[in-house]
Amino acid sequence: MAYGIETRCIHGEDGITREHAYGSMGTPIYQTATFAHPGVGQSTGFDYTRESNPTRSELERIVSSLEKAYDTVACASGMAALSILLELFENGSHFVCSEDLYGGSVRIFSTIGANRGLTFSYVNTADAELVEKAIKKETKALYIETPSNPTMQVTDLRAMKALAEKYGLLLIVDNTFLSPYFQNPIDLGADLVVHSGTKYLGGHNDALAGFLCSASKDLADKIRYIYKTTGGCLSPFESFLLIRGIKTLSVRMERQQENALKIANWLKEQEEIKGVYYVGLPEHPGYEINKSQARGFGGMISFHTDTAETAKRILERVKVISYAESLGGVESLITYPMLQTHGDVPAEIRERLGITDNFLRMSVGIENGDDLIEDLAQALKGE
């Protein structure tokens, strides 16, 4: 029987909870660095936690099921997952990337990636013609974030797969914003999917994690070798927290999306708000493409205020909403990308993308939607 995604969030592909010792409903935490061998040349299947651990393996199986991946490795953070990703490529490899990309990704590409002899071009990947023009003989991969962070650009993943096949490239997708509950890039042709598991998958702002999902055995084998060699693995306890968080992924995502659409429509009506960017609004330029490749719109909103003073007033006056980095948790957060998530992006690029001193990004939580609107209203009006 093929289980729905809501069931797989809780039980995994094949009812993993039935395998737990003593019928435990909660996942056992194997807080150990090493495992004893039954005999010479024999193994229980687990030898050393840097390579594999039963708690982490259960998490990896669940995420592989949700992303429809061949295999997944759970890493200490999203950046640890990107570090493994970069090791797949040889000196001289070139990437074509979404121009509106999480600032931490830009930072690791421009420093560690550049030091390894990798090069990166950034274009508006919502325009397939621009992507094709940026491809050169050294190009090895397309790196796509959709919806993008933080301006919510939507990229047609089927069009990107067509280009990847035409030029023999890997298609890599950061699926953090929509999570596997709303979007499955591997179904659309992606070879690799990256997640900051800290965000929607964890869902409670209490654990750092990252995932690198692979669509083929060849990529999975290479990644597993790098993974055990470099050691950026997720701890057993954090693995337990992520398993627990994923159990409520479906209900959280539905509530966050419901709240986000309500807030986005309210923001549109405020005279101090000059632009609202939410892929669930029919007027969003990527609305139809997102509908064609995803099952939902998520809980991320960005917007421009009339002045920098208004933006700062909101940040300093919110009460229910917290002025904080990160996203995807049950608590609503509001962020100043110019200074926080995208501080490492060159100023001229930020300005061109609209990541200015009057630009805010909001991660909508699962609180009462009217309470969130009331909080924004009092902060916006400064009353």
Q: Active-site residue 199, yes or no?
A: yes
Is 102 designated active site?
Answer: yes
In whole angstroms, give the CA distance from residue 72 to residue 54.
Answer: 14
Distance of CA 250 to the CA centre of its chain: 16
101: CB partners within 8 A, 6+ apart: 122, 143, 145, 148, 149, 174
Mark whether 50 is an active-site residue. yes
Looking at the DSSP bridge assignments, the partners of residue 121 are 96
Of 318, 311, 293, nearest to 355 (Cα)?
A: 311
Number of neighbouring beta carbons within 10 Å of residue 22: 5
Residue tagged active-site, from 56, 161, 199, 350: 199
Distance CA 96, CA 145 (A): 12
Q: In one letter, which amino acid is 217?
A: K
Could you tell me the two tokens for 17?
């909870």
Catalytic residue among 30, 56, 102, 156: 102
Contact 197, 211 (CB under 8 A): yes
Q: For residue 305, give the amino acid letter.
A: T
* Catalytic member of 71, 156, 174, 375: 174
Quick check: 368 and 258 in contact, CB under 8 A? no
109 in Cβ contact with 251 (< 8 Å): no
> 244: burial class by Cβ within 10 Å (0-12, 13-18, 19+)?
middle
Checking DSSP bridges between strand 139-145 and strand 170-174, what pairing results, if any?
A: parallel
Active site residue 107: no
Q: Which of 50, 224, 228, 291 is catalytic?
A: 50
Residues whose CB falls within 8 Å of the CB of residue 184, separated by 6 or more in sequence, listed in order: 67, 68, 175
Active site residues: 50, 102, 174, 199
